[in-house]
Amino acid sequence: MVSPQIAMRGATQLGVAAMLALGASIARAELRFDFQPAQTEIARQISSLHALVQVVCVVVVLVVAAVLVYSIVRFRRSRGHKPGTLTTYRPLELTWTVIPILIVVGLAIPATSTVYAMKDTSNPDITIKITGYQWKWRYEYLNEDLGFYSTLSTPRAQIENREAKGENYLLEVDRPMVVPVGKKVRILVTANDVIHTWAVPAFGVKQDGIPGFVRDSWFRVDKPGTYRGQCSELCGKDHGFMPIVVNAVSLPDYTAWVDEQHATKRASVDAATAAAGRVYTLDELKAEGAKVYAQNCVACHQANGQGMPPAFPALAGGKTSAGPLPGAVNIVVNGSAKNPAMVAWKGSLSDLEIASVITYVRHSFGNELGDTVQPKDIAAARR
């Protein structure tokens, strides 16, 4: 039998270990399994609430463990104690009923306050609509008439283990979301195909995007920096290839970025106008199309054009991609009503880009159709 001294020593060691763990949690050091450093007021409230709950849990464990160890040592049979016959003791029953109620109510007050703050999306400075696709995000700045897709930019060579993994492996995109610090940003989250979740832990934001519904949330970033997250809903085969990157910049830098985006948009329109009257060679279209395909199509249809049936059919000998030219043009320009995963690219790619990628597909992966698509053909298809 274990002696009382050994039992008490073990209980003391357990208590010290628990207090050390509690102290480490309160210190909020940079632990491997801790939250990301909070960069918004909501994230700080969530972090503080988490710490409070952990303190309460540790205290409850210590108190219960202390009572249990004391009872085992003090009232053990070797000291002549026998089991009691008491069937009820109202003061004790009231105590262990009232105390948990008080704990739950005490935790509910700050939790409710945080939930209300999370849902207060009123009076935003900027509103951004976020749409999830398999597997990319689209950001639309409703106040600025700007929109773009954001896709994974990690090289395929790293994903296929032909190169060493980069520092931000699977957490880097070609076009990050940009927001100003100190401004309230309201996000409207939805999805085009399946449920996605837009989540950035440093902001304390995790909002589901559900097809046919629009859910909202908000954040206000404290300081400039690059913040990363991922889709947090199991949305399909390439769920892990759907990162989120947000660049928080100063207000002057944000204004400059918006101006740059408008200038790029105007330049794109001018270039499309100029391209509409030009006839490109097959080699020119294929070279441009290879770039467009690598940036926008490879995630779903793969680098070898084999796709991921049935959601993403193969482009090699595909019924539509290698079929009659009008059908191939229509599905890229307007998307597919039968398969929402195939989005309409007319809103994000220029006439030249669409024409070139269609031409590239029809002359790649074993396809040799011998035809070309010109920007003027895409301009006509848009009407």
Peptide bond into 100 cis (omega under 30): no
Do residues 98 and 92 make contact, with C-beta atoms less than 8 angstroms apart? Answer: no
Average pLDDT value for the chain? 85
Q: Which residues in the chain land under pLDDT 70? A: 1-32, 272, 275-276
What does the pLDDT look like over 119-158, one tens digit per residue? 999 999 999 999 998 888 999 999 888 988 899 988 888 8
Q: E strands, the chain, where?
A: 126-133, 136-141, 146-150, 177-180, 185-191, 196-200, 205-209, 215-219, 225-231, 243-249
Residues 176 and 333: their CA atoms lie apart, in Å, by 24
**What is residue 136's three-state secondary structure?**
strand
Identity of the residue numbered 137:
W
Cα gap 280→295, rounded to integer Å: 21
pTM score? 0.71
**Is the domain 277-382 a CATH 1.10.760.10 member?**
yes
- Token pair 């999306």: residue: 121
| DSSP SS3 for 310 | coil
Closest CA to 358 of 342, 376, 371: 371
The Cα–Cα gap between 282 and 299 comes to: 25
**Which CATH fold would you assign to the domain 4-119?**
Helix Hairpins (1.10.287)
203, 43 Cβ separation under 8 angstroms: yes
- The pair of structure tokens assigned to 294 is 């690598």
Say if CB 241 and CB 170 are below 8 A apart: yes
Residue with tokens 């249809």: 301
Place of tokens 């509103």: 127
Q: Where exactly does CATH 1.10.760.10 map onto the chain?
A: 277-382
Residues recorded for the chain: 383
Residue ranges, CATH 2.60.40.420, the chain? 126-261
According to the model, what pLDDT value does residue 18 have? 46
Q: Which fold has domain 126-261?
A: Immunoglobulin-like (2.60.40)
Q: CATH 1.10.287.90 region(s) of the chain? A: 4-119
Amino acid letter for position 165:
K
